[in-house]
Structure 1
Amino acid sequence: MEIVVGIDVSKDRLDVHVLPSGEAFSVGNDHAGMEDLARRLAAFSPTAIGLEATGGYEQLAVATLASAGLSVVVVNPAQVRAFANALGKRAKTDPIDAAVIAAFIAATKPELRPLRDAETRTLADLVTRRRQIVQMIVAEENRARTVNARQAQKSIKRLLAALRRELESLDADLDDHIRKSPLWRVREKLLSSVPGIGPTVARTMIAEMPELGSLGRRQIAALAGLAPWTRQSGRWRGKSFIGGGRSRVRAVLFMAALVAIRHNPVLKAFRDRLVEVGKPKIVAVVAVMRKLLTILNAIIRDQKPWQTA
C-alpha cells in the first residue's frame, strides 16, 4: 500500500496530511519542527511527500526531508488549486490544503527528480540576489528621472552607488563560485558559445535548470513552462498558451531570445520566417525561446559548443 504525504507550508508552520490513513498534524516551520517532521514521517516510510512552491518558505522542509532520505516533490500551486476545484473543494484552510496536496500527489504521481545539491542551491541564491539588486537599480534609475528635489536626487545617487558596489561584489562571488566547479566552468563556456547567451543567462540556467542535457526537448520545454497548452473541445479550438514550470528560467530566456533575434543569424531567420507566415511577434519570440532552450539542452548533452554551420 502506497503512503503519500501532503504538506501545506506557511511562514510559521507546516500542516501535514497522510494518505490513506488520514492522520493529520502540524509542526513549526523552524529547525526544531523540521527534526520532528522528519522523524514522524520516516516512521510512515512514504512513497512520496508533496509540498507546494511558496516562494522559499518550503526550502527548509525540502532540504531536511531530502537529507533524511525521504522522497520529496515540489508541486505547482496553480495545478493543486485546479485539482481542488475539480474535486469541488471550495473551502480553503491549511489542513484542507494539506489533504488536497496529498490527494493530488496520489492521483497524478508526479515524477520525483533529484534535488539540487547544496552548492547548486547556493549558486541559485546568488543568481536570485543578483537579479533583485538589478531590479532595485532599475527602480532607482526610474525614480531619478521623475524626482526634482536636490536632496532626493542626492539620496538616489548615494543608493545607486551602494547598489552598484553590491552588484560588483555579487558578480565577484558568482565568479568565485563558478570557478570552484570544473563542471560549471565547462557548462558556462558551452552555453555562452551561443550568440545571445551571456554570463547571467548561462549561470541562471546552470543554477535553475540542472536537468539541462539529461532530458528530451519536450521534457525540458515542459520543465521550463514553455510547452504550449492546447485548449480544444469538439470542433472548437482555443488559443494555445504557456505557463507553469520555472518562471526564472523563462524570464532569462525571454531576454536572451530578444538579444538572439538581433545577433544570432540562425534564430533571427527562424523568427523572421514565423512572422512572415503571419505569426504574432510575441508568439514568434516564445518560439525562439523554446528553440533556444532546445539548442542549449543539446549543447550540454553533446558537450559541443555552438556552431554556425
Structure 2
Amino acid sequence: MMAEPAEIQSILGLDVSRDTVTLCDGRRHTVTVANEADALRAALQPYQGTTTLAVCEATGGYEDILLGVLLELAIPAHRADPAKVKAYIASFGKRAKNDPIDARWLSRYGCDRATTLPRWQPADPTQQKLELLVARRLDLVAMRVQEQNRLKAPRSRLIADNIRDHFAELERHIEALNAEIDTLIGESRDLALRAQQLRSVPGVGPVLAPLLLAVIPELGTLNQRQVASLAGVAPHPKDSGKANWHRSTTGGRRQIRPALFIAALAACRGDNPLAVAYKALLKAAKPKRVALTAIMRKIITIANARVRDAVRHQNEIGKINA
C-alpha cells in the first residue's frame, strides 16, 4: 500500500537519462545505475515499505521503466513537469547542471512540495494507445502542411513529383490512423460514450473529439475554469497597481487551441446557439478575435459538462443494475 501524502518523510530524487538513472535520497551522496529494470529494482529495494516519495521528471518515455519498477515496489512517485523544476532551480539563482546535481534538486523540489504533488498513476492501456495514435496523427498532419508549403515554393518545380509522392503517402498514413483511432474508440465503452457526447457539441467533429479524449483525459471531472485553463482559453488578469491591462488567454495544452479555433469557426457558421451567441457578441461591438475566443471557451465548457453528465448517468445505471 502506497504512503499517503501526510505520511511521506523522505524524498528520493531520480534524474533519468536514456541509459542511466541517478538517485539522491536527500543527502549529498548520489548513486548512478543503469536505466534497466533489474538494476533499478536492486537500487530501489531498500526503499520498499518506507515512507519515501520518488520524484523524477517527464523525459519523453525514458522514465517508463523507472515508474514501472516504483509501481511494482509500491513506492509512491511524482512525475514532475520539467518546466516547473527548471523554474524552481532558477529561483535560487543556480546554473550548474549535471546528473547528480539534478537528482539533488529533484529531491529538494519534492521536500518543499511533497504534500501538494500529485501521485503518478499508470495510464489505462487503451487511453495510452489513443494518446500515442493522436500524437502521431498530429505529427503527420504537420508534415503534410510542410509539404504543401514546399510544393508552392517557386523553386520546387524540379522536385514537385517527389513532394507529391510524399504528400500522397502522408495522406494514406493519416487515413489509416483515423481508421485505427475510430476502431479503438468504438471498442471501448467509456471512450465511445465520451466521444458521442463530444460530437453532440456544435463544431466538434471527428478530428477534435479524439483529440480532446487524448489530450484532456480529465474531461468531465473539471470545473469550468479548470477546463478552460487546460484548453488555453481562460482569460488571465494582468493587473498591477492602477494599471488594468486586457486579459489574455495563454498557457494550456498547446494542441487544443488550434483545433478549438477551427471548431469555433465551424460552429459560428451553423444554425445553433453558439452561432447566435457569436452574432450577439459582434453586435455588442466585440472584436471578432474576442468573440471567437469566447465561443472556443463555450465549446470546451459545454463538452466538459456533457461528458460529466453522461458518465454520472452511466455510473448510476451501473449501480442500479448491480
TM-score by length of 2: 0.78
The equivalent of 1:25 in structure 2 is: 31
Structure 2: how far apart are the matches of 1:289 and 1:213? 17
Structure 1: how far apart are the matches of 2:217 and 2:24? 30
Is 2:148 the counterpart of 1:141?
Answer: yes
Cα distance change of structure 1 residues 197 and 37 upon mapping to structure 2, 3 Å threshold: farther
Given residue 216 of structure 2, which amino acid in structure 1 is its aligned partner? M
Is 2:69 the counterpart of 1:85?
Answer: no
Given residue 13 of structure 1, which amino acid in structure 2 is its aligned partner? T
SS in 2 for 1:199: coil
Q: Which moved further from structure 2: 110-119 or 203-212? A: 110-119
Does the 8 A contact of 2:49 with 2:75 survive in 1? no
Does the 8 A contact of 1:254 with 1:289 survive in 2? yes
Given residue 99 of structure 1, which amino acid in structure 2 is its aligned partner? R
Cα distance change of structure 1 residues 153 and 291 upon mapping to structure 2, 3 Å threshold: same
Structure 2: how far apart are the matches of 1:94 and 1:281? 49
Question: How far apart are 1:23 and its partner, in Å?
Answer: 4.7
Is 2:309 the counterpart of 1:302?
Answer: yes
Cα distance change of structure 1 residues 66 and 256 upon mapping to structure 2, 3 Å threshold: farther
Unaligned 5+ residue runs, structure 2?
1-7, 312-322
Cα distance change of structure 1 residues 81 and 274 upon mapping to structure 2, 3 Å threshold: farther
Question: How far apart are 1:168 and its partner, in Å?
Answer: 1.8
Cα distance change of structure 1 residues 197 and 190 upon mapping to structure 2, 3 Å threshold: same
Query: For residues 113-262 of structure 1, what are the structure 2 equivalents within 5 Å?
Result: 114-146=121-153, 148=155, 151-237=158-244, 240-262=247-269
Structure 1: how far apart are the matches of 2:105 and 2:277? 43
- Which whole-Å deviations, capped at 9, do the CAs of 1:105-154 have from their partners, x for residues lacking one? 33332233644212211110011111111111111121111255655111
Does the 8 A contact of 1:50 with 1:74 survive in 2? yes
Does the 8 A contact of 1:147 with 1:153 survive in 2? no
Cα distance change of structure 1 residues 6 and 246 upon mapping to structure 2, 3 Å threshold: farther
Structure 2: how far apart are the matches of 1:242 and 1:301? 24
Question: How far apart are 1:187 and its partner, in Å?
Answer: 1.1
Does the 8 A contact of 2:234 with 2:249 survive in 1? yes
Question: How far apart are 1:245 and its partner, in Å?
Answer: 4.3
Given residue 25 of structure 1, which amino acid in structure 2 is its aligned partner? V
- Which whole-Å deviations, capped at 9, do the CAs of 1:134-181 have from their partners, x for residues lacking one? 111111121111255655111112212221121122122112211221
The one of 18, 23, 27 equivalent to 1:11 is 18
Structure 2: how far apart are the matches of 1:118 and 1:137? 29
Given residue 81 of structure 1, which amino acid in structure 2 is its aligned partner? K
Question: How far apart are 1:238 and its partner, in Å?
Answer: 5.3
Does the 8 A contact of 2:150 with 2:156 survive in 1? no
Structure 1: how far apart are the matches of 2:180 and 2:271? 30
The equivalent of 1:307 in structure 2 is: none
Instruction: Report the aligned-residue RMSD.
Output: 3.1
Given residue 178 of structure 2, which amino acid in structure 1 is its aligned partner? D
The equivalent of 2:112 in structure 1 is: 107
Question: How far apart are 1:210 and its partner, in Å?
Answer: 1.9
Does the 8 A contact of 1:196 with 1:264 survive in 2? no
Cα distance change of structure 1 residues 194 and 97 upon mapping to structure 2, 3 Å threshold: same
Given residue 170 of structure 1, which amino acid in structure 2 is its aligned partner? L
Cα distance change of structure 1 residues 269 and 236 upon mapping to structure 2, 3 Å threshold: same
Question: How far apart are 1:203 and its partner, in Å?
Answer: 0.9
